[in-house]
């Protein structure tokens, strides 16, 4: 039985190491009477090509890769098909002008579903986070 990394040869698989094959970003913003609302969605495909050293030092890599397989696909396939990760961010803000100054106040939530995901082996991406931002522009 061949291991998943035996199929990761660049000549056979045509994906550079540590690269994500597909990434999609969609952004939707609404402005109404000084208020803004925005929603962002980012899709990252599974990182298919990594070094064999990660499989050696991380025995759980096979179970991690198997958990991202699409239905009907297997790690023994020549080109296994993997599911990706979809992350949502949102923001709400208010904009006003006073005495030749523009003020923007924003409340930002990253990863609103608090999804645990990783784009590279051994690097877990941050959980949801909250932020407040104020911008001031002088005219």
The distance in angstroms from the start CA to the end CA of the chain is: 68
Confidence of residue 13 (pLDDT cuts 50, 70, 90): low
pLDDT, position 4: 53
24: which 2 tokens?
């999609």
pLDDT of 3 strictly over 70:
no
Count up the domains in the chain and report the number: 1
126: containing domain: 4-138
The tens digit of pLDDT for each residue in 84-139 reads: 889 999 999 999 988 888 999 999 999 999 988 888 777 888 899 999 999 999 87
The partner residues of 104 in beta bridges, in order of sequence, read 95, 135
The C-alpha R_g of the chain, in whole angstroms, comes to 21
pLDDT, position 39: 97
Cα 132–chain centre separation? 22
pLDDT, position 2: 45
Phi, psi for 28 (deg, rounded to 5): -130, 125
Confidence of residue 10 (pLDDT cuts 50, 70, 90): very low
Average pLDDT, the chain: 84
């Amino acid at each position: 039985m061949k291991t998943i990394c035996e199929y990761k040869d660049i000549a056979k698989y045509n994906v550079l190491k540590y690269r994500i094959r597909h990434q999609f970003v969609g952004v939707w913003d609404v402005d109404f009477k000084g208020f803004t609302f925005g929603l962002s969605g980012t899709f990252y495909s599974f990182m298919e090509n990594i070094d064999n050293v990660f499989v050696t030092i991380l025995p759980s890599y096979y179970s991690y890769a198997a958990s991202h397989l699409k239905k009907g696909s297997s790690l023994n396939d020549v080109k296994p098909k993997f599911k990706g990760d979809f992350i949502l961010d949102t923001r709400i803000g208010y904009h006003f002008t006073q005495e030749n100054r523009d003020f923007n106040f924003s409340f930002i939530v990253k990863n609103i579903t608090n999804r645990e995901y990783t784009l590279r082996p051994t690097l877990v991406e941050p959980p949801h986070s909250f932020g407040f931002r104020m911008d001031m522009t002088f005219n």
